[in-house]
Amino acid sequence: MDLECSDEQAELRQSAIGALDRLAPLSLARSFHAGDGEATALWRRLAELGWLGVGLDSDDPFGVPGLCLLAEQVGRRAAPTTLVDTALVARVAAACDSAQLERIVAGQPPLALAMLEPRSSWTSAPATTVTRAAGGELALSGEKLGVHHAASVGLLAVLAKLDGAPAVALVEPARAGVSIVPTPGIDPACAPCRVALHRVRVSESELLGGPAFAGALAYALDVAAVASTAEGLGAAAAALELAVAYALEREQYGRVIGGFQAVAHLLAEQHALRETAWAAVLYAAAALEERTDDAAAAAAVAKAHGAAAAKVVVEGALQAFGGVGFTREHDLHLVYRRALECAGRFGGPPEHERRVADLLLSREPALAGT
């Protein structure tokens, strides 16, 4: 087994660093906290670079690991994007052979994922429903929560029940019956919204569904879970770098605080946790790309460990900063919040740990790959 990035993947990472340093400095995330965030230039560029469709084609040299490398850089800057959400919807659209795929990956328009509901988890069957009227007209009704950037994208991908089975409806936010209310969120740079849908008209061509849907959604959710873990670990890496730099500069008792072993060991533990979690992300991403037998289990392992690790890392960074870490003035909270948001997105450690238990204990043979 070899978890080293290929030359192409390493180059992708370098271009992501270059592009995001320019287009998504931490000040962009900060502007969302102030309520005057505007990221359309960033979204246009991500689409132009082809990154919304990264890893989709089978001859793409980047694969799911490529998506994770991009997501990590997004997380490092707490950049306001729907990169991972779009990757999820694009994978479902591709598996359903939908004509919508092209505009989704072209970012024409940018898209938001409306999946979670007020009284459900990420894997619950949706209560939101598409009903068929007598004349064959379709209407979408329900309520969604935690829809990132819903107020500024041009398309909502709404998970709903259609004829008793799950499907995704693609509707514009401006359509009659759609109301969008920004909500507080642990990470304001994600601009989370509540979306209410009341008898919103939908056409057949705007629906992703059919026999391939359920399997495609399960796979795409695993991809998104791993990619959001990568994003959270990117945020954690940035928090740790800030904390290490601070520990080398801040003096107390006449010496830099990084010289106190309690602080040094805290930072060392965080580094080790982040590295091990990143290794698990790389493995899960490669397993999903190759669709190995243990891919779903590997995704659950990466999410359960990676989300918990990212949280421990940013909490430790906060501790290393002392009082200044507890302010909004310092940049730390920007990445701190991103790590927390990512930890719960697509299911947190408890849900994924339960999945691991079910997969591990339901059958005799060992789950570990080779």
Partner 1 sequence: MRLTRSDAERRIAEEVHSFLSAGAADARELPEEFDARIAWLREWQRRLHEAGLVNVAWPTEHGGRGATLGEQMVVEQELARAGAPELIGVVGLGVVGPSIVAHGTAEQKRRWLPKILSGEEIWCQGFSEPGAGSDLAALRTVAEDRGDHWVLRGQKTWTSWAQHATWCAVLARTDLEAAAHKGISYLVADMRAPGIDVRPLEQLTGEPEFSEVYFDEVAVPKDQIIGAPNAGWSIAMHSLAHERGPAVAARAVKLRVLLDRLIADARRLERDGRPVLEDAEVRSLLARTHIQLEVLRCQSARTVGTMIAKGRPGLETSIDKLQLTRAEQLLGDTALAVLGPAATYAPGWQNVYLYSRAASIYGGTSQVQKNIIAERILGLPRS
Applying CB under 8 A, among 269, 322, 327, 328 the residue interacting with partner 1 is 269
Do 56 and 94 contact (CB within 8 A), yes or no?
A: yes
- The Cα–Cα gap between 132 and 225 comes to 32
Applying CB under 8 A, among 272, 324, 326, 328 the residue interacting with partner 1 is 272
Is residue 328 a contact point for partner 1 (CB under 8 A)?
no
* Strand partners for 141: 129
Q: Which of residues 61-80 bind partner 1 (CB under 8 A)?
A: 63, 65
- The Cα–Cα gap between 184 and 36 comes to 15
Q: How far, in Å, are 55, 237, 303 from residue 121 at the CA level?
A: 27, 28, 15
The length of the chain, given as a count of residues: 370
Q: How many CB atoms lie within 10 A of CB 34?
A: 9
Q: How many CB atoms lie within 10 A of CB 143?
A: 16
Q: In angstroms, give the least distance from the CB of 115 to partner 1.
A: 25
Applying CB under 8 A, among 153, 298, 334, 342 the residue interacting with partner 1 is 298
Q: In angstroms, give the least distance from the CB of 215 to partner 1.
A: 21
The piece of 109-117, 160-168, 213-221, 267-275 that touches partner 1 (CB under 8 A) is 267-275
Is residue 253 a contact point for partner 1 (CB under 8 A)?
no
Nearest to 348 by CA among 63, 116, 71: 116
Name the maximum alpha-carbon separation found in the chain: 80
The count of residues interacting with partner 1 (CB under 8 A) is 53
Q: In angstroms, give the least distance from the CB of 357 to partner 1.
A: 4
Q: Give contact residues for partner 1 (rule: CB under 8 A).
A: 1-6, 9, 63, 65, 244, 247-248, 255-256, 258-261, 264-265, 267-269, 271-272, 275-277, 279-280, 282-283, 286-287, 289-290, 292, 298, 301, 304-305, 353-354, 356-357, 360-361, 364, 366-370
